[in-house]
Amino acid sequence: MEEILTFCSRYLENIETRWNRPRRVDDEPTYEESNPWLDTLFPQVGKPLGVSSYFTLTVTEKLQAHRHVLTNCSIVDNYLQEFRNIVRKQLRSRTRNTSEIDKKVYREFASWFSTRIVRDLDKIEESKRTEFLVLPKG
């Protein structure tokens, strides 16, 4: 039976076998709406299925989402490391374990980052300025 399926899949067109059938989950992104600077920050992985729906985030959910984006965005890594170093120096006299640093990053990084970007905007390259203006706003 397997030999017949192999023969059909190689030499006959429009015959579906387990080797040439389309995947059940089509995660290949569609590139219809592409924004170059947004794609560098957040590359598309997969595509939406079903009906779209809209909902409003609570203030807490928005802050959590913003925090997640900032701590997982590669262009913010240097700022995140700088903030961690500042926190390490501040906690010099107290315990400087990783969980204490992470708590402080969790609570204060978003506001520190926003202040820092506004202060240093003229030092940021022109090509990355738009990205850095959008990120602090959430």
**Residue 54 main-chain phi, psi, to 5 deg:** -115, 145
Longest alpha-carbon distance in the chain: 75
* pLDDT value, residue 35: 62
* Choice between 117 and 19, residue whose per-residue pLDDT is larger: 117
Interhelix angle for 77-90 vs 98-119, to 10°? Answer: 120
Residue entry with tokens 């374990």:
97
Q: Is 89 exposed, middle or buried (0-12, 13-18, 19+ CB in 10 A)?
A: exposed
Task: Please say if the pLDDT value at position 69 is more than 70.
Answer: yes
d(CA 48, CA 22): 18
Task: Answer yes or no: is pLDDT of 80 > 90.
Answer: yes
Of 24-38, 40-54, 98-112, the range with the lowest mean pLDDT is: 24-38
Alpha helices, H only, 12-90: 36-41, 59-71, 77-90
Please give the pLDDT value at position 125: 82
